[in-house]
Structure 1
Amino acid sequence: MNTIAILKRLMSAGLTALLMSGAALAAPAAERGSAAEAEAMVKKAVALIKANGADKAYEEFTNGTSFKDRDLYVFVYDMTGKNLAHGANAKLVGKDLSALKDPDGKLVLPLLFEVAKGKGKGWTEEFKFRNPVSQKLEPKVVYVERLGDTLIGCGIYKN
């Protein structure tokens, strides 16, 4: 058997094993963050703020790497709509985004405030937002927790 034939057999066997293991089918789902991962990231962010102070934590959320994972990222707003930290777009920090609307005209921040001011934590209703990985507008829901006069959030994209 020549080298090319051996390589073809090995590649075929490897691909068959990969497909049978389900790994090839699981890859697309693994590219997206889950609801459980988003909640855990927010809880970790709240703990960091409490342990190290807001300034240090906000710097990490915006410019660090420990609060960014695939399409998951942490953001922080004060209760007037001013962005205090943003893991996907540092240019938003310091801006009043209270009038931010999704492509369908839905105001985004009131969805976050409703949860934060009401239950103190939980999931928002769905809106459309740009996914930083795909660069496409996609349906999104956000898990938020209120901490004093701020809300900390992390969302998942639903496709």
Structure 2
Amino acid sequence: MKRTVLKLTAGLAFGLMFAGSAVAADSGTKPEAIALAKKAAAMYAAQGQEKTYAEINNKNGQFIDRDMYVFVLNTAGNVTAHGANHNLIGKPLLNLKDADGKLFAQELIAVIKSGKSGWVDYKWPNPVTKQIEAKTTYVEPAGDIGFAVGIYK
């Protein structure tokens, strides 16, 4: 009896360990976000705006991975491409606030203008869970635009 309980406990712990791994695998990581943003910036440099934006906007394209997607923002605060929400394309985000009232787009723009990559924290709806969650977004500047990919914490 003791042995059976021990086996069941060990099996349950083992199963929970892998269940946690499966859930974690459904979410992007910081290194994956950086790689996806850099991949989009490289395509832009090699193939130009039209092809890159079309691929970013393709919901089945290479720039959408689980809960990660690329979006492009210019220094004026306008979205020029968006992998998860096409309704944002062409929209000004300069004064957009997150759930806590943070003007996060201004921070994203500041990273673009700096010419150096960086991270910005804010709250945003997760396209997978449909819940507002804490998010950190990596921005890869390319002139007057930035390729951005966020992960949910």
* Range of TM-score over shorter length: 0.7 to 0.9
Distance 1:21 1:128 in 2: 29
Q: Is the 8 A contact 2:115 2:142 kept in 1?
A: no
Q: Is the 8 A contact 1:19 1:25 kept in 2?
A: no
Question: How far apart are residue 20 of structure 1 and its match?
Answer: 5.6
Structure 2 unpaired stretches of 5+:
1-7
Question: How far apart are residue 24 of structure 1 and its match?
Answer: 2.1
1:49-128 pair list within 5 angstroms: 49-63=44-58, 64-118=60-114, 120-124=116-120, 126-128=121-123
Q: Does residue 1:26 correspond to 2:21, yes or no?
A: yes
Query: What is the Cα-based RMSD across aligned positions, in Å?
Result: 2.1
Query: CA-to-partner distance for each residue in 1:111-147, whole Å, 9 max, x for gaps?
Result: 11222222521112x2110000000000011100110
Q: Does residue 1:43 correspond to 2:38, yes or no?
A: yes
Question: How far apart are residue 18 of structure 1 and its match?
Answer: 9.4
Instruction: Number of aligned residue pairs: give it.
Output: 145
Moved over 3 A (4+): none
Name which one, 1 or 2, has greater alpha-carbon Rg: 1
Distance 1:91 1:114 in 2: 23
Structure 1 unpaired stretches of 5+:
1-12
- Provide the TM-score with structure 1 as the length reference: 0.83
SS of the aligned residue for 1:141 comes to strand
- Pick closer, same or farther for the CA change 1:118–1:20 going to 2, 3 Å: same
- Pick closer, same or farther for the CA change 1:49–1:119 going to 2, 3 Å: closer
Q: Is the 8 A contact 2:113 2:144 kept in 1?
A: no
